[in-house]
Each structure stands twice: as structure tokens, then as C-alpha cells.
């Protein structure tokens, strides 16, 4: 008989390959193989959830709801702060497993992603305690706003930063009083399994956190269609979001979706060139597998030559290789399927007439799933590479004549997740930022995210906003209690 306490060793860390439902590990009928993108080796065989597993997880969350909600924000906060402490204490383990599982840089995971994960949990635990009690008097009526837990919540998370982006959802959902069912990405499920162990160590009651591993078309579909799910938070592709949205619409279930992007990175002639180049290079972070990346470089005509020379010189110094090594800046793509997708975009761009100034194909030196950082110039205006999200280390370069054209080109996309502007003129930064259609606009910086700020996308990049009070606007049923002043006699 299979031992459900069995752990597999990933980078020296013991990880469970089984589902986590109602406070215990559960064996499913089916399994799927999990590969490391670093060398293509099989990491483990994971338990794959089916309809019965998903139903058991949702039912467990449903049963846990009254007790978890009744704790109040202060009671829940005690559990969540313990969870954050445990995450910090296990930072090295989490970073090692994440790197092995999705090929992201070990240094980035250790020094940023895991720290941010613990902060996500603590921040929303603190914020929930500040929410209750907002009130005012008007025309003899006293109004008070309540943030009530909404119930069982489905969290569907992506593979490019699975642990950190899962905690971004887990923090506010649990702080709001909702038990959760997490569907981790099948291409990188291991750190979410660790999260279950940490939750157990923190003493979080059974059923409050459930994790169903498996294929999106099975486990994910069963989860979003389950009649007891009251909220769905999804981060991933726009195509998948349309399927989830259709399922949610049938039951009028609120959804929050952070989706893809084709963001502009606009550089004016008066910008600090060195700063602009440095931040533009950051668009190759995580092998370009970042939804917020400014993949369309838009540069003022007068500085075209200077920018291309400096950017190319520094980009060619980026080292590809094993993401566990400190000097490496670009790791592998997540899977063979995704590698083929990125390669297809690049080859079609070449056929359409775009020219790679550098890169332009798989890394001959590294082989495997490593793709060279690529910059296309002379890109035809209607080329696919300008329109669709590649999600790889592939950027395009275009020039603009003036501010008006920069704004027009920046907005010439079906997406609207983010935008970046570099300029030496403060009023221009504000002016251009206001006219760009994007959920987040950075001026003279990149990837700055304060958890108080609303985050989400416009157009095809998403629905809704999360962050600060905006997260609780989604994860709670917001209620206004109104009563006539002076109407109570006892």
C-alpha cells in the first residue's frame, strides 16, 4: 500500500506529490509527470485530481467556512502571521524547489520572491483588521460598511512565479474569511505542495486550505464549474480566461482575472539613457516569462542609434545557463510545448520581414529549452509579433517622432496590463501616463508594486483589481448597514 506520508526529494527538499484535501494528503486515481526545464529530467510523478477530488476539496472548504469566518480578522490574522513566519524560515527550501520546478533564477527566488511571499501574507492579514468599521452619518441615517466573507474561493495560479503569485491570492482570500481551493500550475506544482505543509505547521484548521493538482482541462474545469464555489481568482492566459469566464457567467460567480500583456516600454530623448537601458534589459527577466514585461520598445527617433548600440552591447553580455548559478541572468523556458510556441512566433516574425538585431533562435551553446534573448528591428506595422503575447525573451523595437505618436503606438494593442515611460520631464511622465491605457504605468522605473495599490489589467489583460482594499472588494461581500439615528429605545 502506498504511504501518503511519502515525500520525494527535490533539490534536497522533501515534497509531497499528493493532493491536500481537508487537512490530509490524498491519493488520486491518475498521475502526471513533472519535468525540470533546466535539463528535462523527470522530477516526480504527481497525483492528478479528478472530479471526485475537486468535489472533496470544495466540500471540505464549504464545511470549514463557518468556523473560519467566525474567527474574525484578528483571529485569522494570528494564523496568517504564523504562516508568514514559517515561509520566511523555509526560504532556502522554497527557492531551491521553485528553481528546480520552473527554471527561474535561484537568486531572484531567494532574495525577492520568497520574501515577497511572506510579505503578501502579513500585509493582507494586517489590512483586513483595518477594514471593518468605516461609517458616517448623513441626513439622520448612520451608515456602516461591512466586509463579509464570501465563501469558498477558487484560486488558479500560473507557472512563472507559482509560490509568490499564489500567496498574492491566498493572503487576501484567507484574511477575508474565505476557505480556499488552490489549483496550482501543472508545469510547476511543487512549491504549492510545500505551502500545504506550512499551513499545517501554522495550525490552520483542516479544510481552510485545499490543493488540487492536475491538468487544467480536468481539475481546473471541475473547480470553476463547482456549484459551491463563490469566487474565482485566476492568473494566466487570456484564452483560458475566456473559458473560465463563460463557466462563471452561468452561475453569476464574481471573477478576478490578471491576464496577458503586450506592454509598451517608451523612451523619450530626454530620458536618462543608462537608466532606460538597464530597465529595458530587465524585460528579459525570467527568460521573458513575465506578464508585465514591456516587450515593445518604443524609442524616440533622435536617440535610435545611441539606444540600440548601448542596449545591444549589454544584452549580449547576459549569460544563459543553469539558473542555480549566480552569474546566470537568463534561464530556460518552462516546457517543450512553450519553447515550441516561442520558436514559432520568432520564425513567423522573420518570414514577415522582421530582422533580429541579436538572438533570434534557440541557444546553440546551451541546447535544451534555452532561447537566446532576441530583439527584432524593422518590424512591419501589422506583424503578429507586435500584436500577440510571446511570453519569452523576445522584444521588438520601433521608433516614434513625438509624444502624440508614442501614445498612439503605446495604445495600439488589444492588451492593457502595464506600460513603462522613461523621460526627463516630470509633467510629460504624468501626461503620457494618464493617456496610456494600462492597469499600471511606471515612470522612470519598472516592476515597482506596492500592495496598497490596485493591480490588474485593461482590455484583454483582465477583469477587476486586487491589492489593498481592492482585494477585499473582490474577496468579500461588501455590505452597507443603514439605520435611522435615534430610533433605538433600549
Q: What percent of the chain has pLDDT over 90?
A: 96
Report how far apart, in Å, the C-alpha atoms of 67 and of each of 21, 59, 154 are.
17, 14, 18
Looking at residue 371, the DSSP 8-state letter turns out to be B
Residue in 98, 186, 222, 258 annotated catalytic: 258
Q: Where are the beta strands (DSSP E) in 199-326?
A: 209-211, 231-235, 255-258, 264-267, 296-300
**Interatomic CA distance for residues 98 and 80, integer angstroms:** 22
Beta strands in 17-101 (DSSP E): 19-21, 24-26, 30-35, 42-48
Reported confidence tier of residue 1, pLDDT bands at 50, 70, 90: very low
- Each residue's pLDDT tens digit, 193-226: 999 999 999 999 999 999 999 999 999 999 999 9
Instruction: Read off the pLDDT band of 488 (50, 70, 90).
Output: low
Evaluate whether the domain defined by 264-443 bears CATH number 3.40.50.880.
Answer: no
Q: CB within 8 A of 403, min separation 6: which ones?
A: 268, 428, 431, 432
Phi, psi (deg, nearest 5) at residue 358: -150, 160
Cα–Cα distance for residue pair 181/222, rounded to 1 Å: 12
Which residue ranges make up each domain of the chain? 8-259+461-480, 264-443
Residues 6 or more apart whose Cβ sits within 8 Å of residue 371: 287, 332, 333, 339, 342, 343, 359, 361, 362, 363, 392, 393, 394
For residue 258, indicate whether it is catalytic.
Answer: yes
Start-to-end CA span in the chain (Å): 65
- Given a cut of 70, whether residue 490 has pLDDT beyond it is no
Percentage of the chain lying above the pLDDT 70 cut: 99
The answer as to CATH 3.40.605.10 being correct for domain 8-259+461-480 is yes
Do 146 and 194 meet the contact criterion of CB atoms below 8 Å apart?
Answer: no
Grid cell at residue 212: 488540487
Q: Which residue is associated with the grid cell 489549483?
A: 183
Q: Among 44, 186, 192, 291, which one carries the catalytic annotation?
A: 291
Across all residues in the chain, what is the average pLDDT? 96
pTM of the model: 0.96
256 φ, ψ (degrees, to nearest 5): -125, 125
Q: Would you place residue 2 in the very low, low, confident or very high pLDDT band (cuts 50, 70, 90)? A: low
Residues 248, 131: Cα–Cα separation, whole Å: 27
For residue 489, pLDDT over 60 is answered with no
Cα-Cα-Cα-Cα torsion 443, 447, 449, 453, nearest 10 degrees, comes to: 50
**309, pLDDT greater than 80:** yes
Amino acid at each position: 500500500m502506498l504511504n501518503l506520508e511519502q515525500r520525494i526529494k527535490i533539490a534536497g527538499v522533501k515534497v509531497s506529490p499528493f493532493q491536500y484535501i481537508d487537512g490530509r494528503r490524498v491519493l488520486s486515481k491518475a498521475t502526471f509527470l513533472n519535468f525540470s526545464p533546466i535539463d528535462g529530467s523527470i522530477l516526480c510523478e504527481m497525483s492528478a485530481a479528478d472530479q471526485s477530488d475537486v468535489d472533496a476539496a470544495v466540500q471540505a472548504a464549504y464545511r470549514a467556512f463557518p468556523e473560519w469566518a467566525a474567527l474574525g480578522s484578528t483571529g485569522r490574522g494570528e494564523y496568517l502571521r504564523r504562516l508568514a513566519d514559517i515561509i520566511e524560515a523555509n526560504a532556502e527550501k522554497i527557492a531551491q524547489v521553485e528553481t528546480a520546478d520552473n527554471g527561474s533564477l535561484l537568486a531572484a527566488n531567494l532574495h525577492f520572491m520568497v520574501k515577497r511571499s511572506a510579505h503578501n501574507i502579513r500585509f493582507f492579514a494586517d489590512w483586513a483588521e483595518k477594514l471593518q468599521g468605516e461609517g458616517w452619518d448623513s441626513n439622520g441615517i448612520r451608515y456602516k460598511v461591512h466586509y463579509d466573507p464570501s465563501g469558498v474561493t477558487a484560486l488558479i495560479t500560473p507557472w512563472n512565479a507559482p509560490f509568490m503569485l499564489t500567496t498574492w491570492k491566498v493572503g487576501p482570500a484567507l484574511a477575508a474569511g474565505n476557505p480556499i481551493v488552490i489549483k496550482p500550475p501543472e508545469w510547476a506544482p511543487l512549491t504549492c505542495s510545500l505551502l500545504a505543509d506550512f499551513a499545517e505547521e501554522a495550525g490552520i484548521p483542516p479544510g481552510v486550505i485545499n490543493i488540487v493538482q492536475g491538468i487544467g482541462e480536468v481539475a481546473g474545469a471541475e473547480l470553476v464549474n463547482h456549484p459551491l464555489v463563490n469566487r474565482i481568482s485566476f492568473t494566466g492566459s487570456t484564452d483560458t480566461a475566456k473559458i473560465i469566464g463563460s463557466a462563471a457567467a452561468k452561475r453569476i460567480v464574481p471573477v478576478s482575472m490578471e491576464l496577458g500583456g503586450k506592454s509598451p516600454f517608451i523612451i523619450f530623448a530626454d530620458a536618462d539613457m543608462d537608466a532606460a537601458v538597464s530597465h529595458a534589459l530587465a524585460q528579459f527577466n525570467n527568460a521573458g516569462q513575465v506578464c508585465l514585461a514591456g516587450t515593445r520598445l518604443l524609442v524616440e527617433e533622435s536617440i535610435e542609434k545611441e539606444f540600440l548600440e548601448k542596449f545591444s552591447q549589454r544584452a549580449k553580455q547576459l549569460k544563459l545557463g543553469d539558473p542555480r548559478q549566480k552569474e546566470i541572468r537568463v534561464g530556460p523556458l518552462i516546457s517543450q510545448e512553450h519553447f515550441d510556441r516561442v520558436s514559432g512566433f520568432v520564425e513567423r516574425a522573420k518570414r514577415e520581414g522582421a530582422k533580429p538585431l541579436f538572438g533570434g533562435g534557440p541557444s546553440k551553446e546551451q541546447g535544451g529549452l534555452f532561447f537566446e534573448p532576441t530583439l527584432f528591428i524593422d518590424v512591419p506595422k501589422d506583424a503578429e509579433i507586435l500584436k500577440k503575447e510571446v511570453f519569452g525573451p523576445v522584444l521588438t523595437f520601433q521608433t516614434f517622432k513625438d509624444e502624440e505618436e508614442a501614445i498612439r503606438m503605446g495604445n495600439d494593442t488589444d492588451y492593457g496590463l502595464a506600460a513603462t515611460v522613461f523621460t526627463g520631464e516630470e509633467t510629460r511622465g504624468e501626461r503620457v501616463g494618464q493617456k496610456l491605457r494600462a492597469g499600471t504605468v511606471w515612470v522612470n522605473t519598472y516592476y515597482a508594486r506596492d500592495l496598497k495599490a490596485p493591480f490588474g489589467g485593461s482590455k484583454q489583460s483582465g477583469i477587476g483589481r486586487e491589492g489593498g482594499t481592492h482585494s477585499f472588494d473582490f474577496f468579500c461581500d461588501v455590505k452597507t448597514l443603514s439605520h435611522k439615528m435615534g430610533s433605538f429605545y433600549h
